[in-house]
A and B are shown apart, each in its own frame.
Chain A
Amino acid sequence: MIQARALVKRYGTFTAVDGIDLHIRPGEIYGFLGPNGAGKTSTILMLLGITRPTSGEVFLFGERYTPSRLDLRRRIGVVPEKHPRGVWPWMTAEEYLRFFAELFAIPRPQERIDSLLKKVDLHGFRNKRIRELSRGMLQKLSFTRAILHDPDVLLLDEPISGLDPLGIQQVRDLIVSENRDGRSIFISSHQLSEMERICHRVAIISKGKLMAEDTMENLVARLFREREIHVELEKVPHGLAALMKKLPSVLDCTVNANTLIVTVPRQGDFRRVISEFLIGQSQVPLRIQERMVSLEEAFVTITQENIGSLVSSGGGG
Chain B
Amino acid sequence: MSDRARAARIIAKRQVFEALISPGLYIALVVGLFLGYFLVSGFSRAVDSSGFNPQLHPLYDLIARALEGAFGKTFVDSLFAEGPLPFAFAVSFLPAFLYIAVSSVFKFGLEKNAGAVELVAYGPADGTSYLIASYVKDLFLVLLAIIVIVAFMVAAAAFYNYVAGPELFLTALVAFFLSLALFAYGVLASMLTGNASSSLALFVGIIAFFLVVLFGSFAIVGEYVRNLSTVVASAVQWISPFFYGNLSLKANAAGDSLGFFGGLALLVVLSGVILAASHFIIRARGVRA
Chain A residues within CB distance 8 Å of chain B:
45, 48-52, 67-68, 70-71, 73-74, 76-78, 80, 84, 86-88, 99-100, 102-105, 146, 149
Q: Given known contacts A67-B126, A70-B126, A80-B122, is B114 in contact with A87 (CB within 8 Å)?
A: yes
How many B residues, CB 8 Å from partner? 28
Cβ of A87: which chain B residues have Cβ within 8 Å of it?
111, 114-116, 119
Cβ of B251: which chain A residues have Cβ within 8 Å of it?
none
Cβ of B284: which chain A residues have Cβ within 8 Å of it?
52
Q: Given known contacts A70-B4, A87-B116, is B288 in contact with A149 (CB within 8 Å)?
A: no
- Does A105 contact B6, Cβ atoms closer than 8 Å? yes
Cβ of A88: which chain B residues have Cβ within 8 Å of it?
116
- Does B115 contact A103, Cβ atoms closer than 8 Å? no
Q: Given known contacts A50-B288, A86-B114, A103-B10, is B124 in contact with A80 (CB within 8 Å)?
A: no
Cβ of B123: which chain A residues have Cβ within 8 Å of it?
73-74, 100, 103-104, 149
Given A70-B126, A86-B110, 9 more A-B residue pairs with CB atoms under 8 Å apart are A45-B288, A48-B122, A68-B126, A70-B2, A70-B124, A70-B125, A71-B3, A102-B10, A103-B11
Q: Beta-carbon contacts of B1-19 to A below 8 Å, as 1s and 0s? A: 0111011001100100000
Select one of A50, A78, A146 contacting B286, CB under 8 A. A50
Cβ of A86: which chain B residues have Cβ within 8 Å of it?
110, 113-115
Q: Given known contacts A67-B283, A87-B114, is B122 in contact with A78 (CB within 8 Å)?
A: yes
> For the complex, what is the distance from the CA of A252 to the CA of B146, rounded to whole Å?
88
> For the complex, what is the distance from the CA of A238 to the CA of B263, rounded to whole Å?
102
B120 contacts the other chain (CB 8 A): yes
> For the complex, what is the distance from the CA of A49 to the CA of B2, rounded to whole Å?
18
What is the minimal beta-carbon distance from A91 to any residue of chain B, in angstroms? 9
- Does A84 contact B286, Cβ atoms closer than 8 Å? no
Q: Beta-carbon contacts of B258-289 to A below 8 Å, as 1s and 0s? A: 00000000000000000000000001101110
> For the complex, what is the distance from the CA of A100 to the CA of B123, rounded to whole Å?
8
> For the complex, what is the distance from the CA of A50 to the CA of B282, rounded to whole Å?
10
B121 contacts the other chain (CB 8 A): yes
> For the complex, what is the distance from the CA of A104 to the CA of B120, rounded to whole Å?
10
Cβ of A84: which chain B residues have Cβ within 8 Å of it?
114-116, 118-119
Cβ of B6: which chain A residues have Cβ within 8 Å of it?
103, 105
Cβ of B126: which chain A residues have Cβ within 8 Å of it?
49, 67-68, 70
29 chain-A/chain-B pairs, Cβ below 8 angstroms:
A45-B286, A48-B121, A50-B121, A50-B286, A51-B288, A52-B284, A70-B7, A70-B126, A71-B124, A74-B3, A74-B123, A80-B115, A80-B118, A80-B119, A84-B114, A84-B116, A84-B119, A86-B110, A86-B114, A86-B115, A87-B116, A99-B14, A102-B10, A103-B10, A103-B11, A103-B120, A103-B124, A104-B124, A149-B123
Q: Which residue of B lies closest to A142 (CB)?
A: B119
Cβ of B116: which chain A residues have Cβ within 8 Å of it?
84, 87-88
Cβ of B286: which chain A residues have Cβ within 8 Å of it?
45, 50-52
- Does B118 contact A74, Cβ atoms closer than 8 Å? no
Cβ of B287: which chain A residues have Cβ within 8 Å of it?
50
Cβ of B121: which chain A residues have Cβ within 8 Å of it?
48, 50
* Max count, chain A CB within 10 A of own CB: residue among B14, B111, B123: B123
> For the complex, what is the distance from the CA of A68 to the CA of B125, rounded to whole Å?
9
Q: Beta-carbon contacts of B89-114 to A below 8 Å, as 1s and 0s? A: 00000000000000000000011011
The 3 closest A-B pairs by CB, nearest first: A84-B115, A86-B114, A78-B122
Q: Which residue of B lies closest to A89 (CB)?
A: B114
Cβ of B118: which chain A residues have Cβ within 8 Å of it?
50, 80, 84
Cβ of A73: which chain B residues have Cβ within 8 Å of it?
122-124
Cβ of A80: which chain B residues have Cβ within 8 Å of it?
115, 118-119, 122
Q: Which residue of A lies closest to B110 (CB)?
A: A86
Cβ of A45: which chain B residues have Cβ within 8 Å of it?
286, 288
Within 240-256 of B, Cβ neighbours of A (below 8 Å) are at none
> For the complex, what is the distance from the CA of A78 to the CA of B126, rounded to whole Å?
14
What is the minimal beta-carbon distance from A140 to any residue of chain B, in angstroms? 16
Q: Which residue of A lies closest to B284 (CB)?
A: A52
> For the complex, what is the distance from the CA of A117 to the CA of B12, rounded to whole Å?
26
> For the complex, what is the distance from the CA of A102 to the CA of B287, rounded to whole Å?
21
Q: Which residue of B lies closest to A146 (CB)?
A: B122
> For the complex, what is the distance from the CA of A48 to the CA of B115, rounded to whole Å?
15
Cβ of B125: which chain A residues have Cβ within 8 Å of it?
70, 103
Cβ of A78: which chain B residues have Cβ within 8 Å of it?
122
